[in-house]
Amino acid sequence: MWKDETHRVLIINDSINSVLELKEILKVGGFAVSSCCGEQAIQAVMEESPDVILLEILLKKRNGFEVLTKLKSNGRTSHIPVVIISSLNLQIYWDESFILGASAYMVKGRHYPWLRRKLYSILYNRKIC
């Protein structure tokens, strides 16, 4: 569950190494971070009600696009910003992510220096609108 911190981030990723790396980056920014595997994604989002979701496309049991579609088509979760974080860096994946409702797309490793700034921007713009 969440620590008593400002912004809650849910990481949906089946790779423990990726989850640990992202948690390390986000703890410096004062984010409260929770994680789950792709199989538990929808249930975890419903229970934890995060402020933003970091979603991997390549999941073991589920495709990240399937998770994104379910989140954006559900009235209880459609408002939650989803940032795709993947090692897949092809235009077709970027396009599909935005078509399905992702707020941003970041490439693992390459875009990590800007991750906290991107999340702050998304959360700030969400509060204004």
For 45-72, how does the pLDDT look when each residue is reduced to its tens digit (9 = 90+)? Answer: 999 999 999 999 999 988 999 999 999 9
- The pTM assigned to this predicted structure is 0.91
Q: What pLDDT does residue 111 have?
A: 76
Percent of the chain with pLDDT over 90: 77
Q: What pLDDT does residue 61 have?
A: 86
* Domains of the chain and CATH, by start: 7-123 (3.40.50.2300)
Residues facing residue 19 across a β-bridge: none
Distance set, CA 102 to CA 5, 17, 52, 68 (Å):
24, 23, 11, 7
For 18-42, how does the pLDDT look when each residue is reduced to its tens digit (9 = 90+)? Answer: 999 999 999 888 899 999 998 899 9
